[in-house]
Structure 1
Amino acid sequence: MRARTAVLALLLAISCRKAPGPPDPNYQEARRIYDQLYVSKLDDAYGDPQMDTVAGLLEKVDHDSVDAPPAEALLGTIKRGREEFAKSRAEREKMQKTAQDVVAAPNIDPSRVLGLDQVDAGAPPDPFGPGASLSEINAASGGCLVPGEPFRENVTNRSGTVYRLSSAAACTQRLAGFVGQMVLVTDGRIYRRMPDSEARQVSGPDAGAPPADAGTPAPDAGTQARSAPAANSGAATDAGTTEQFLYIPGAPLPPGMQFPGAGTAGQDAGY
């Protein structure tokens, strides 16, 4: 009895269920337009204005129509497609703007960035080498370079004063590189530095008494430094008054001058 009642209830429910309606022309038209757009533009079709027409037709589909379920599904597809299209479009616009900014940026000269356009000034000047200011060195060291005898260059006729480092312990510590050196200074700047041990004394007739045969001086830019007259500079010899000079290696001997004892050595050797 119960089984028969259940079967009757099921049959009644089936008979009361409304059958789906006929196909809806709105869906048919919407599907046609959608297919044409997607075939021609693929995912870009979701940004086409005609997609709004497709969505409007799908919303008009009768809910009782057999086309209602597929119309609802197509609306969901269009919604998701539009979201992806908007996202990808924003990314493309961002990349395009970046590319435009790069093109619009002023051209960068690599040589200027790397400093290649600047003339190489070479190594910085030696603060204690040729051209260095004597006053600046003495100001920084406390006057450690002391003036001595004058000098005059034989060919260029440049003249100046020979300076040497003071023997004070503070000076030898501050300017250790000047220990045992002669510093030739002209116009207040260092002209040349050389070991003091290389300088030698030479003697010759006084400038007032011309030598017997001066000859032609060698065309060398050597440097001679005149020292204080020797103790016996006032003594007269057969060649006249003798004057002492400080000889710097590489410089030619002034006319009529010789190293002390050179004449005697020459006679002993048979010259």
Structure 2
Amino acid sequence: MSLRPLAGIASVVLLVLAPLACKRDSGPSADYEEAARRFRTLYAQKLDAAYLDPQIGEIEAQLQRVPADSLDAQGARELLQRIQDGRTRMQAEASATDKAIATAREVPAGTSMPTLTPPEPPGKAEPPDAGPPDAGLSGPQAGTPASELVSGFRGCFQRGSPLEVEGRGMRETWALADRTSCRLEYPGHVDSLLLVEQGRVLTLLPKSAVRTVTVTADGGPVTQPAADAGR
């Protein structure tokens, strides 16, 4: 009896098993474990701002070094996609904020523009009435980040017209919304403006300290008469 047919069958079996043996993965990836740990730490510190942090580029480079046959390959791909989506979203939000600020500062010729009246020298003004306990102490104050005015404080503050401050130039302003709930929540901000400079509230000033100047087409200002001057 010939053994050649049996030898042929054995060869076929070996050829079938060989590709299966080559499909073994390379195990867990040290690059993925390190990148995932760094990302968790950075995100815990900065939240969504982490997507724009310079360190995120190093984390992406580590994830891209994870072998395709690693047990962590799928996790690396998912984390890379999360980082890319987060960066795109944060860049779009930053661009929209910059555009909104630039638009708010544009004042066309021929329109009325509020101007801040220079304050009186220190020592001449009478100290303001403190009012009832804790009156006017809630809400945004000098030093509050302007970003908190957008969605914080129960949405009670809205962007006003840009203000030309003598000696400082154009400045962004915010004011309390004309809603009963907001007036009750922040009584100290009624009839006041929040003057913003370099991304923070510079000061709170009464609306009575603002005078309106009409800018003519040739650029010459025409000061409007003060209203209720006898008050």
User: What TM-score do the two structures reach when normalised by structure 2?
Assistant: 0.40
Task: Name which one, 1 or 2, has greater alpha-carbon Rg.
Answer: 1
Higher relative contact order (CA 8 A, sep 6+): 2
